[in-house]
Amino acid sequence: MPFSVGHLSSLIYLDLSHNKIDGQIPSSLGNISSLRGIYLDDNQLNGTIPTCLALLPHVDMVNLHSNNLQGNFSLDSFISTSNYLQLDLSYNKLTIQVDPNWIPPFSLQTLTLSSCNIEGILPSFLSTQYQLFHLDLSQNSLWGNIPSWLHDLPSLEYLNLSYNNFQGRFPFTLNISSFIIIDLHKNQLDGCLSVPSIASPHLKVFDLSENEFTGVIPVQIGRLLRDIDFLSFSKNDLSGGIPSSIVLLQNLQVLDLSKNRLSGKIPLRLSNCSYLTRLNLGKNNLIGQILAQIGMLRYLVTLQLNGNMLKGNLPSSLQNCSNLQILDVGDNLLVGNIVLWLSKFSELMILILRSNKLQGHIPNRLSNLSKLHC
C-alpha cells in the first residue's frame, strides 16, 4: 500500500479486500480523519497494526482478518466516537490484549477475534455490549465457565466460542430464543444436555461436539429446534436412544451424533429429514437393520454408520442416493454379497465395508468408481 494513500483527505471508505497486497499498513491512514470504514481483509499484509487506526475518530468498521499481521495490540486503543463499531482482526499472528477494567466508549455490533492468542476468562467488557449481535472468539486460550451475563445481551444472535478451554456446564440460564448460531465445540463443557438450555425456535446451527457432555439427548429436541439446519453432539459421552422427535427436524441438513454411547435403533421415520446431506451416527452402540427408508434421503452426500452393531443387508433403496461421496458402514454385522449397484455411485470417493460378515466376490464393476480414494 502506498504511503500516499494518506493524502486522500476526504476518503470515507477504503476497501482493498481480497487482493494480494503485501507490506505494512501505512501509518499515513491516520491522517484521514474522515475515514469510517477500513476493509483490508484477505491480503498478505504484515507488520503491526498502526496505533493511528484505533485513533481515527469516526471509524465504525475495521476488517483486517486473514493477513500476516503480528505483534501485541490492545483493544482499549480504540477511541471511536461512532455509535457502533464492527471489528474483525481474526486469522493473523496477533496477540490481542484487553484491559480488564476497560469499558468501550462505543457499542460493539460485531466482534470477531478468532485465533488472536487471547488468554484468560471471557473479557468482562462484553457484559456492557447490549447491541452486540455477532461474537466470535474461537481458537483462543479462553477458560473458565461461560458467564451467565451472556443472558443479558438481548441482541446476540451469533456466538462462536469453539476451540477454547471453557469448562463447567452449558449455561442453563442463557436466553437463546433469538440465537441463530451457537458453536461451542471443542471445549471441556460437561453435565447433561437439558431441555431449557437448547430450546430455541430460530436456531439454525447448534454445535456442542467434542466436549464432555453426559446423559441422554432430550426427548423433546425435535419439537424445540424445528428450524435447525446443523446439529452436532459428536464426540461426547451421551447415552440412551436417538429421540424419535428428531424426525420432526425437516430442515435438517447435517446430523452428527457420532462417537458417543447411543443405543437402540435408528428412528424409523428419519427419512422425514429429507434435506439431509450429511448423516453420521458412527461409533455408537446402535442395533437393528439399516432402514430401507434411508434411500429416500436423496440429497445425502455423506452416510456414516460405522462402528455399531447393525445387521442384515445393505438396503437396495440406498442406490437412490446418487450423490453419495462417502459411504462408511464398516465394523458392523452386515451380511450378504457386495452388491453390484454400488458401482452406480459415480461421485463416490470413500467406500468402507470392512469388518462385517459380507461374502462372495468383489464385483469387477467397482473399478468403474473412478473417484474412489479408499
Q: What is the pLDDT of residues 260-318, one digit of tens each?
A: 999 999 999 999 999 999 999 999 999 999 999 999 999 999 999 999 999 999 999 99
pLDDT tens string 96-149 = 998 888 888 889 999 999 999 999 999 999 999 999 999 999 999 999 999 888
Beta-ladder partners of 327: 303, 351
Alpha helices in 17-170 (DSSP H): 51-54
The pLDDT of residue 193? 83
pLDDT of residue 102: 87
Residue ranges of E strands in 83-192: 84-88, 93-97, 107-112, 119-120, 134-136, 141-145, 158-160, 165-169, 181-183, 188-192
Q: Which amino acid is at 292?
A: A
251 burial via Cβ count (<10 Å: 0-12, 13-18, 19+) = middle
Residue length, the chain? 374
Does residue 245 carry a pLDDT above 90?
yes
**Mean pLDDT throughout 213-240?**
94
Question: Facing residues of 223 across strands?
Answer: none
Dihedral sign (CA 209, 213, 214, 215): negative
Strand ranges (E), 271-348: 278-280, 285-286, 302-304, 311-312, 326-328, 333-337
Q: Are residues 199 and 223 in contact, defined by beta-carbon separation less than 8 angstroms?
A: no
Which grid cell sits at 87?
A: 471489528
Q: Is the pLDDT of residue 200 over 90?
A: no
Rounded CA-CA distance 200/185 in Å is 18
Amino acid at 102: W
pLDDT digits (tens, 9 = 90+) for 74-90: 998 888 777 778 999 99
Give pLDDT tens digits for 116-128. Answer: 999 999 999 999 9
On the question of pLDDT at 172 being above 60, the answer is: no
Q: Mapping DSSP to helix (H, G, I), strand (E, B) and coil, where does residue 169 land? A: strand
Q: With pLDDT > 90 as the criterion, what percentage of the chain qualifies?
A: 80
Q: Which residues pair with 191 in a beta bridge?
A: 213
Return the residue matching grid coordinates 466376490.
Answer: 361
